[in-house]
Amino acid sequence: RQLAKLNVDIIEAGFPATSPGDREAISQIAREVKGPVIAGLARAVMADIDHAYEAVRGAESARIHVFLSSSDIHMAQQLRKNREDVIEMARNAVRHAKKYVSDIEFSPMDATRSDREFVYQILQAAIEEGATTVNIPDTVGYAIPEEFEDLIRSIAQNVPNIDQARISVHCQNDLGMATANSLAGILGGARQVEGTI
């Protein structure tokens, strides 16, 4: 409620698939907090997306935020999938979320360590399926401001359908650069900044 009073426009209330307790807490937030969009986080797994919808469906405005690894190291070690499979996973996940809500955020996890051409491709695919926000996470706090601004600008210039989505940034603070990187992301063209309070 305090975030709503501060005019925070979107509250990502949690990751509903983690536990029944988290799902219930997110559901309560969705029912009781008025004004902001209430988002639920989900891996690009159908059951996660289902849980996210169940948790946020009571909100005045609901969002599902789907994330999927995009760096070669994460695809190989976590997903054990190739790039084509990961793009298809992204398409399927966004398409599934679209059955529930019209406001869908997609994040290519570990974007700052990902091949840029692949990031462009996966974002284009997610937008084609209905993603309305594409979030660029610096998952391991690896970026520095100049390179992060360049990444965001390059996404704005190289994803053909980017005009159909809002660019968002999510910066970790491992190197103490989260605020600087977020501001650099805005200079590069981002219109949403994710933060933690």
Residue 154 has pLDDT above 90, yes or no: yes
Task: List the chain domain ranges.
Answer: 2-194
Residue 197 has pLDDT above 90, yes or no: no
Question: What integer pLDDT is reported at residue 6 of this predicted model?
Answer: 92
Under the banding of pLDDT at 50, 70 and 90, the label for residue 153 is very high
Mean pLDDT of the chain: 97
Residue 75 has pLDDT above 90, yes or no: no
Of the candidates 103, 105, 102, the one whose C-alpha atom is nearest the C-alpha of residue 90 is 105
- For the segment 26-69, what is each residue's pLDDT rounded down to a tens digit? 999 999 999 999 999 999 999 999 999 999 999 999 999 999 99
Region 139-162 average pLDDT: 97
Question: What integer pLDDT is reported at residue 77 of this predicted model?
Answer: 86
**Cβ 38 vs Cβ 62: under 8 Å:** yes
Residue 171 has pLDDT above 90, yes or no: yes
Neighbouring residues of 85: CB distance < 8 A, sequence distance ≥ 6: 79
**pTM of structure:** 0.96
User: The domain 2-194: what is its CATH number?
Assistant: 3.20.20.70
Question: What integer pLDDT is reported at residue 78 of this predicted model?
Answer: 85
Region 125-139 average pLDDT: 98
Mark residue 85 as left, alpha or beta (left: phi above 0; alpha: psi -120 to 50; beta: remaining).
Answer: alpha
